[in-house]
Amino acid sequence: MQVFRYSQARTVEGAVRANGTFLAGGTTLVDLMKLNVLQPPAVIDINGLPLDRVESLPNGGLRIGALVRNSDLAWNETVKEKYTVLSEALLSGASPQLRNMATTGGNLLQKTRCYYYRDTNYACNKRQPGAGCSALDGFNRIHAVLGGSDHCVATHPSDMAVAMMALEATVHTQGPKGERSIPLDEFYLVPGDTPEKENVLVPGEIITHVTLPPLAAGTRSHYLKLRDRAQYEFALASVAVVIQISGGNITRARVAFGGVATKPWRSREAERALEGHAATTETFSRASDAAMAGAKPLQYNGFKIELAKRALVRTLETTTQTA
Amino acid sequence: MSTSIIGAPVTRVDGRAKVTGAAQYAVDHSPSNVAFGYPVWSTIGNGRIANIDTSAAERMPGVLAVLHHGNADPLFRPAERFEPYSRAGEVRPPFEDDQVYYYGQYVALVVANTFEQAQAAASAVRVEYQPRPSVVTLAAAPAPQQPPLLHYLRGNAVQAFDRAPVRIDQTYEIPTETHNPMELHATTAVWDGDRLTLYESSQGVVNHQHVMSEMMGIPVDRVTVLSPYIGSGFGGKLFPWPHSMLAAMAARRVQRPVKVQVPRDLMFTTVGHRPLTHQHVRIGATQDGKLLSIEHDVQQPTSLVDTFVENCIGVTSMLYSCPNVGTQQQLIPMNIGTPTPMRGPGIVSGLFPLESALDELAVQLKMDPLDLRLKNYAEQDESYDPPRPFSSKRLRECYQAGAEKWGWSRRTPQVGSMRRGNEIVGWGMATATWHAGRGSATVRVRLNADGTARASCATQDIGTGTYTVFAQVVAEKTGIPIDKIEVVLGDSSLPDGPTSGGSTATATVLPAVDQATQGAIGRVIAVAQQTPGSPFYPGDHAQTAGDPPKLAMTAGRIHLADRPPESGVPFGEIIAGARLAALDAEARTAPDPRDEHRYSSHSFGAQFIEVTWDPGIARLRVSRGLTVIDAGRIINQKTGRNQILGAVVMGIGMGIFEETLYDPRNAKPLNNNYSDYLVATNADVPDLDCIFVEYPDLHLNEYGARGIGEIGLAGVAPALTAAVYHATGVRVRRLPVRVENLMAGSQQKIA
């Protein structure tokens, strides 16, 4: 870890003006600072900002402050009942101790667990643009099959963001140019030839809260995470499904994947294959094929394609079972 | 031994100190003015250091010294080839020269006023290397030039295999596994003139003391090693590793105490590991399952700086009755740190292929795997010529008790044939074994005038329950309550005690604690008889009456042997009555060398594992486990059961999670942390059970106890992969079982 300036922000405006690296739960930032992967000259502690509330919105949706801890959000009564997929995703992530610290805004900005990103002795385009990618011909079992490029194949590690993607969340920010609202689907960037740019935030811009739209009555949702062990591991493949059924037909479906892509991966291909079709195993199977049609395996991660398909089929079966 | 505290489920006597944080571990010791050392380590796997630039680091705040091969005081190599008790983890001292033999080798040590200053300065040390290509796989290693290091032959195994009607011929692989105890290796080194005190995390304080004396070049009586608590070792803390020498060297240089804690990254490189193995097994058998031949050919890597061999083939020649057995083991140097014993070394690795091949044979023969084991039951140890009797072997009882408790007869052999709900259940079993050893030990027991007792020995408790076993024996012999018995271990200045390794500590110390306690009791009795004023003082009139009446100690009281204890006097009053503070005695015990050649001593067990397989989402979980152990008499049911169940948890990790991944480009262990190196979490551990079939092995010691630290791990992996085969039809011959292997081969499609 390197020497850095530490200060505490008392207001959101003050945090934006301070123009440094924001410290919330610290579960990513401090970890990577200890590894010298991130060496911010100035760290702004934002834990004192009044962004730690979960509130119902007049339209029936939910407003989640950026500093709401993962544990608090997961066990929130409204989230448990209405946004089940989000509660399940949060509880499948990390460990209780980490969830007690990690925040909503921080989780959206969580850094990849790629071995090569986390060690400054390796070439990594995300850490040092133009340096090369050690994962392409390295041990890439945990890397992405979707959204990768010749420059980066690191997976986005968040579970929460996958659920929020399927819930069509919106990220609200405040920056040097004022406030803005960004649909989560437009918030993340695929690596392309600039893997160091992971999202659309500009320097100094801070996430203030996330909103979830209301869900129609009868909507079902579920998060399934597959991995080697039962807890405390990132996903090999995960899927979030938010779905409505009427008379045996799927009227609306939102599908997002985790663990297989360079960003939380919304699959409109799967959604198209589901909407307007009967809730049958054949439909589910077609949707899973559609979702993975563009997948590109690396040397060690080809199995993720089949695993993600199976995860989607199972999740659709689970969510449509008694509908 | 009447209603005995020996065998009772006595709670750990050190438990309270551990759970309340009162227990002080090596890194918790902060002598005044302590400085901190933080290492710089090699980031190549092979080559030489061309240049080290420490100038920037030396200018940083709080930095006291930056030590490296160019400026370090010389260290000496340990005399382990010549002496007992002087084995280092790696014979090459740190900073010996400019050569790099593996990734994560110490290149420099920064010493500073605080940990943070040392760590920050360490990252400012610039090292230039001249790298050479690294070898981290057997496939990339040059063919060995030496003949096999270990080999064994009885009969003609090759010919018997060629003629056998039924044959198994397979290769099995175990990857490198890393101990990863929760407590990091650490040393706090304190010099007082020419005396060196080390607060260590050590499984052998006496060995550590001797090695440090030899490597630092100071007399052994000037070195004290203190290791009262160890946050697990699993074998990784048996022998001193380079950080201990670095801490001592740095403390001498800066003239202050120095603390060095090994970073988690280096827990994967410089403190040993279970070496990977490639193992080729060929078995020949008759149509009705009688073994005709076993061949077992092992390749095991070692480092380029030391020779570590773990015998994977010894078990093959003794476990089953078979006329023709040929085994050999080849060592292959690679660019890795030196391997070291990891729980069950040799046998755990050797049993995976042997037991797996037997399961494959059972499938081929359409025979129950348990029946196959019984069919080839070894009544004697056939690895000796002539065969040698076992000191005690109750493996048949283990199979039987296990099968009954498990419900093994309900197993249907066909792959995928057993279901629970939508999931497929697989059952597998394997034999477990571990050799029973016993060494020598000296123990001192002191009986105090205030009614308490103290037992001491330079052994240590690595979390297995050694403190408690000492207290149990003293309590058994004296009747003093456990909470009035102090046990002092983990200090090399105490009477010589054994290293905590090889599942031998309990069998070794029991007789010495017993004899020392009896010696101390004898001294109290003598004082009782010789002190005027004592109720047992015969007085002048009795001088001609022959021997004084016989006394005994029961329930903490000295009494006439033929009268009840209540008629006697508390022992403390006898000691106080003689105006003494305490009476003590020392005893040294060793195994009878004649027994060593008379009997073959091993523990045995049967292990049963159930896995649950959800083919729809390719999810495998271990859902049940049962272990039945024949380890002679169990001294403490609670800590004993704890040892076995803990080992099974470790076996789940070995079976489906653990693998140290070396990057072939630079020899780095990529997953060198608790997040990426997977071990079982609580959520991965199902209902586990353990049964002891207790038949005291009185040839080993008078308590009939054999060790139990390692055997619980021995058969888990092969039982698990047998269960995986039973559920999925996929035979996994390379650990760990991975979801991609099962998806590729399983007979069940998407549900």
Q: Which helix (H) or strand (E) holds B226?
A: strand B223-226
- Residue A143 to residues A96, A149, B89, Cα–Cα distance (Å): 25, 12, 36
* A113 in reach of chain B (CB within 8 A): yes
Angle at CA of residue A77, ends A72 and A81, nearest 5°: 125
Q: Domains in chain B, please, with CATH?
A: 31-133+183-231+237-268 (3.90.1170.50), 277-437+596-745 (3.30.365.10), 438-590 (3.30.365.10)
Is the Cβ pair A226, B684 closer than 8 Å?
A: no
Q: Looking at chain B, which residue has its C-alpha nearest residue A237?
A: B617
Residue A70 phi/psi, 5-degree rounding, is -55, -40
Helix (H) or strand (E) holding B314: helix B314-318
B617 vs A226, A229, A231: nearest CB: A226
Which pLDDT tens digit goes with each residue over B308-317? 999 999 999 9
Whether residue A246 contacts residue A317, with contact meaning beta carbons closer than 8 Å, is answered with no
Instruction: Find out whether B304 and B333 touch, Cβ atoms under 8 Å.
Output: yes
Q: Does B623 touch chain A (CB under 8 A)?
A: no
Q: Identify the burial level of B594 via C-beta atoms within 10 angstroms of its C-beta, where 0-12 means exposed, 13-18 middle and 19 or more buried.
A: exposed
Compute the nearest-CA separation of B676 from chain A (Å).
8
Name the one residue in this structure whose structure tokens are 């596994």: B177
Is the Cα torsion angle A117, A123, A129, A132 positive or negative in sign? Answer: negative
Q: Do B616 and A36 touch (CB under 8 A)?
A: no
Pairing of strands A5-8, B126-131: unpaired
How far is the CA of B154 from the CAs of B159, B325, B329, B349, B441, in angstroms?
12, 5, 16, 22, 36
Three-state SS at A246: strand
For chain A, say whether B119 makes contact (Cβ under 8 Å): yes
Assign B617 to helix, strand or coil: coil
Terminal C-alpha separation, chain A: 53
- Residues of B involved in catalysis: 710
Q: Is the dihedral of CA B228, B232, B234, B235 positive or negative?
A: negative
Look at the block and give the residue holding tokens 């397979």.
Answer: B170
Which residue from B123, B678, B750 is facing A36, i.e. has the nearest CB?
A: B123
The SS3 call for residue A269 is helix
| pLDDT of the residue at A323 | 44
Q: What is the DSSP code (8-state) at residue B55?
A: H
Among the listed residues A128, A135, A161, A172, the one whose alpha carbon sits nearest the alpha carbon of residue A150: A135
Interface contacts A/B by beta carbons within 8 Å: 74
Q: Nearest-CA neighbor of B721 among B745, B687, B692?
A: B745
Which strands make up the sheet holding B258-261, listed edge to edge?
B63-68, B106-112, B35-41, B258-261, B186-192, B195-200, B223-226
Residues B250, B63 contacting (CB under 8 angstroms): no
CB contact under 8 A, A230 and B123: no
Name the residue among A115, A229, A311 with its Cβ closest to that of B617.
A311
In angstroms, rounded to a whole number, what is the distance separating the alpha carbons of residues B243 and B532?
58
- Chain B contacts in chain A segment 205-224 (CB below 8 A): 224
Q: Is residue A273 within 8 Å of residue A317, measured between CB atoms?
A: no
For residue B127, give the chain A residue with the closest CA.
Answer: A121
Q: For residues B154 and B737, what is the distance between their CA atoms, to the nearest angstrom? A: 34
Contacts (Cβ under 8 Å, ≥6 apart) of B28: none
Query: Closest Cα to residue B232, out of B684, B626, B635, B647?
Result: B647
- Which structure tokens are listed for B416? 């995928």
Contact A152, A125 (CB under 8 A): yes
Q: Which chain B residues are within 8 Å of A233, Cβ to Cβ?
A: 675, 678
Distance from CA of A174 to the nearest CA of B (A): 34
Subunit contact B657:A228, Cβ cutoff 8 A? yes
**Cα–Cα distance between B46 and B665 in angstroms, integer?**
10
Cβ neighbours of residue B414 closer than 8 Å, sequence gap 6 or more: none
- CB–CB contact A228 B738 (8 Å): yes
Instruction: Give A306's contacts in chain B (Cβ within 8 Å).
Output: 618, 743
Place of tokens 């296990």: B402
* Contact yes or no for A230 and B739 at CB 8 A: no
Please count the helices (runs of H) and the strands (runs of E) in chain A.
Answer: 12, 12
CA separation, residue B190 to residues B198, B243, B253 (Å): 6, 14, 12
Q: Is A229 on the interface with B (CB under 8 A)?
A: yes
Query: What pLDDT shows up at residue B143?
Result: 87
Q: Which of B663, B677, B735, B738 to mutate to test the interface with A (most CBs of A within 10 A)?
A: B663
Whole-Å CA distances, B654 to B20, B432, B619, B664, B671: 31, 15, 17, 22, 15
Whether B676 has its CB under 8 Å from any CB of chain A: the answer is: yes
* Interface touch A314/B123, C-beta < 8 Å: no
Identify the pLDDT of residue B747: 59
A139 to chain B, any CB pair closer than 8 A? The answer is yes
List pLDDT tens digits, range B151-171.
999 999 999 999 999 999 999
Spatial contact of B390 and B417, defined as CB atoms under 8 Å apart: no
CB contact under 8 A, A307 and B683: no
- pLDDT for B79: 86
Chain B contacts of A119, Cβ < 8 Å?
668
Q: Which one of B43, B617, B621 has the shortest CB-CB distance to A230?
A: B621
Q: Rounded CA gap, A262 and A240, in Å?
A: 16
Distance CA B273, CA B176 (A): 7
Mean pLDDT per 10-residue section of chain A, whose length is 323 residues: 92 94 97 96 97 98 98 98 98 97 98 97 98 98 98 98 98 97 98 98 97 97 98 97 96 98 98 98 98 98 98 97 66
Which residues of chain B register pLDDT less than 70? Answer: 1-3, 81-84, 540-546, 747-751
Q: Return d(Cα B61, Cα B402) in angstroms, integer.
A: 63
Q: Which of B116, B617, B682 faces A314 most closely, judged by CB atoms?
A: B617
Question: B676: nearest CA in chain A?
Answer: A233
> What's the rounded Cα separation, in Å, for the pair A300 and A233?
18
Rg (Cα) of chain A, in Å, rounded?
Answer: 19
Selected for mutation to probe chain B from A115, A124, A257 (highest B CB count within 10 Å) is A115
Within an 8 Å CB–CB cutoff, is residue A282 touching chain B? no
Q: What are the φ and ψ backbone dihedral angles of B625, each rounded to 5 degrees?
A: -150, 140
Residue of chain A minimizing CA distance to B665: A138
Spatial separation of the C-alpha atoms in residues A230 and A236, rounded to whole Å: 12
pLDDT score recorded for residue B595: 77
* Interchain CB contact of A321 with B (< 8 Å): no
Q: Which residues of chain B have a CB within 8 Å of the CB of A134?
A: 665
Hey, are the CB atoms on A231 and B676 less than 8 Å from each other?
no
Residue B663 sits at the chain A interface (C-beta within 8 Å): yes
> Is residue B605 within 8 Å of residue B431, measured between CB atoms?
yes
Closest in B621, B684, B739 to A307, CB measured? B739
How far, CA to CA in Å, does B111 sit from each of B43, B217, B250, B258, B748?
Answer: 20, 22, 7, 8, 59
Residue in chain A closest to B656 (alpha carbons) equals A228
Q: Is A303 in contact with B616 (Cβ distance < 8 A)? A: no
Q: What is the DSSP string of B650-713?
A: HHHHHHHT----B-TTT--BTT-STTTS----GGG--EEEEEE-----TTT-TT-B---SSHHH
State the greatest distance between any 2 C-alpha atoms of chain B, in Å, as a whole number.
Answer: 96
CB distance from B116 to chain A under 8 Å?
yes
What 3-state class would DSSP assign to B392? coil
Task: List b or e across B477-506, with b for residues whose CB sees 16 or more CB atoms inside 10 angstroms.
Answer: bbebebebbbbbbbbbebbbbbbbbbbbbb
- CA dist A93 and B229 (Å) reads 34
The complex's ipTM works out to: 0.96
Whether chain A has a CB inside 8 Å of the CB on B734: the answer is: no
Question: What distance in Å separates the CA atoms of residue B468 and residue B452, rounded to the nearest whole number?
Answer: 16
**Interface residue B661 vs chain A (CB under 8 A):** yes
Q: How many other C-beta atoms can be found within 10 angstroms of the C-beta atom of residue A172?
A: 17
Helix (H) or strand (E) holding B127: strand B126-131
Contacts of B739 in chain A (CB under 8 A): 226, 228, 236, 303, 307
Residue B151 backbone phi and psi in degrees, to 5: -160, 155
User: Is the Cβ pair B683, A230 closer than 8 Å?
Assistant: yes
Sequence letter at residue B465: G
Residue in this structure with the two tokens 């470790």, named with its chain if needed: B650
Single-letter residue type at B606: A
Candidates A145, A236, A303, partner chain B, best to mutate (most B CBs within 10 A) = A303
Rg (chain B; Cα; Å): 28
In terms of DSSP bridges, do strands B485-488 and B619-630 run parallel, antiparallel, or are they unpaired?
unpaired
| Residues B50, B107: Cα–Cα separation, whole Å | 12
User: Which residues in chain A have their CB less than 8 angstroms from residue B661's CB?
Assistant: 139
State whether residue B120 sits within 8 Å of chain A by CB: yes
